[in-house]
Structure 1
Amino acid sequence: MFNTKWLAGAFAAAAFGTSAAAYAETNVYFAEPANGATVTSPVHLKFGLEGDMAIKPAGDMTANTGHHHLLIDGQPIPKGEVIPANEHSLHYGKGQTEADVKLSPGPHKLTLQLGDGMHRSYGPELSQTITVNVK
């Protein structure tokens, strides 16, 4: 009997040029700030990626690679959808792993989303969401 969820994941990984094993063994995370931190603007962010994938700039379609996107007060993007570029969705297409972002005072939800060389989301599985409170 076929496991349709695994089969669908394998097809999605093939479409992205990403092996199912690399996808399963990868973790996207905020190295800084910590979840729940009180911060000042501009907020210094450090992005992390561990596992079997690597950071490459936008346009590079090498298998098992991508680059970071920051979603401000948004949700993770479904797998395969193009990550929008606007004031709430910042692209780090040069392969940056650090950024200073101006945020208004108050609570904010920050989602780090990995996307491929064409800015297509790898899905919620390759994202992390934290909250920060800006003084």
Structure 2
Amino acid sequence: MRKSLILLLGAVLLASMPVLARTPAPQNAQVYFIWPSEGMVVGQAFWLRMGLRNMGVAPKGTDIANTGHHHVLIDVDLPANMNEPVANDRQHLHFGAGETEARIELPPGRHTLQLLLADKDHIPHDPPIYSKKITVTVK
């Protein structure tokens, strides 16, 4: 009896939680690195330049169709769940002010970089707009 009551309460709580719908994106939208490019050797601090086609860049919280803001994923794969906000940590850099370039610092070694566009709530669009993963070597 107690176990079924706990399961029922859990189901009620899940049903009452708001679900954020993913923001639609045009099928032809593309996000890409302007600089650096695949295989480049860069210094520990370097300028990262991000490009976007067939959509616009807008700061977080801006609710305008066909816009979003950049996130850079460092040495990680794309999120397994595209229905949740992009993590905010050292491996998931947020550019919520609408930046299209930034100076970032990485330790020496090989690193992978990938761009992921997200909406006003940091949730990837539907379909998700992400770049090819590139590898850079930091000296």
Q: Give me the TM-score of the superposition, normalised by structure 2.
A: 0.78
Per the alignment, residue 97 of structure 1 pairs with: 100
Match for residue 111 of structure 2 among 97, 108, 111: 108
Paired residues for 1:1-135 under 5 Å: 15-18=21-24, 22=26, 24-51=27-54, 53-77=55-79, 78-122=81-125, 125-128=128-131, 129-135=133-139
Residue 74 of structure 1 contacts residue 88 of structure 1 at CA under 8 Å; is this kept in 2? yes
Cα separation, 1, equivalents of 2:127 and 2:94: 17
Once the two structures are aligned, what percentage of the paired residues are identical?
39
Residue 76 of structure 1 contacts residue 124 of structure 1 at CA under 8 Å; is this kept in 2? no
Amino acid at match of 1:133: T
CA deviations 1:48-83 (Å, max 9, x no partner) are 0001x1111000121211000011111122432210
Per the alignment, residue 10 of structure 1 pairs with: none
Amino acid at match of 1:27: Q
Per the alignment, residue 7 of structure 1 pairs with: none
Q: When you count helix as a share of all residues, which structure comes out higher?
A: 1
Residue 17 of structure 1: how far off its partner (Å) = 3.8
Amino acid at match of 1:69: H
Structure 1 unpaired stretches of 5+: 1-14
Residue 18 of structure 1: how far off its partner (Å) = 2.2
Q: Give me the TM-score of the superposition, normalised by structure 1.
A: 0.80
Structure 2 unpaired stretches of 5+: 1-20
Q: 1:17 to 1:88 in 2, by over 3 A?
A: closer
Cα separation, 1, equivalents of 2:111 and 2:119: 25
Q: 1:17 to 1:112 in 2, by over 3 A?
A: closer
Residue 79 of structure 1 contacts residue 124 of structure 1 at CA under 8 Å; is this kept in 2? no
SS at match of 2:116: strand
Between the two proteins, the alignment pairs up a number of residues equal to 117
Per the alignment, residue 10 of structure 2 pairs with: none
Structure with higher Rg: it is 2
